[in-house]
């Protein structure tokens, strides 16, 4: 058992975060994002809304150095503007956010180290986190 209180307890997710190198990708996804064959799936979804995208993102952000985030155009428009608010709450510093079509985001997920599937049931609420360095 880890001594630190408040960190990520899920052993597989904690190990993936610890093993990420500079420039590698970790996807935080809604419940519906297709996960490409061969990409590690860390499935946290319990039921619709649990855990939420925001909860998982903020937990990961507390433990992972992130230099850039990729989101889908569709999540940044069409009533899903809340993704910017979620990102701002999760990170205590400004991070470059790239916006690409959803199809391109799905292609990027094919080269991710892992996809973390949440119980989020808001369409297009996905983010590709690009690992940075803490030094």
Q: In the annotation, is 10 catalytic? A: no
CB distance 122 to 53 below 8 Å: yes
Q: Which one is catalytic: 10, 22, 93, 102?
A: 22
Report the half-sphere exposure of 102 (CA within 13 A, side-chain side).
Answer: 14
How much is the CA Rg of the chain, to the nearest whole Å?
14
62's tokens: 């507390």
- Where in the sequence numbering do the catalytic residues fall? 22
């Amino acid at each position: 058992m880890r001594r630190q209180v408040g960190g990520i307890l899920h052993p597989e997710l904690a190990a993936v975060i610890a093993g990420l190198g500079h420039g590698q990708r970790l996807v935080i996804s809604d419940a519906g994002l297709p996960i490409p064959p061969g990409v590690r799936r860390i499935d946290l979804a319990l039921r619709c809304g649990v855990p939420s995208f925001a909860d998982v993102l903020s937990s990961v952000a507390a433990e992972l150095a992130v230099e850039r985030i990729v989101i889908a155009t569709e999540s940044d428009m069409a009533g899903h503007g809340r993704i910017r608010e979620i990102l701002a709450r999760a990170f205590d510093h400004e991070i470059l956010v790239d916006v690409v079509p959803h199809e391109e985001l799905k292609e990027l997920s094919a080269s991710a180290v892992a996809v973390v599937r949440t119980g989020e049931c808001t369409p297009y609420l996905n983010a590709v986190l690009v690992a940075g360095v803490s030094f």
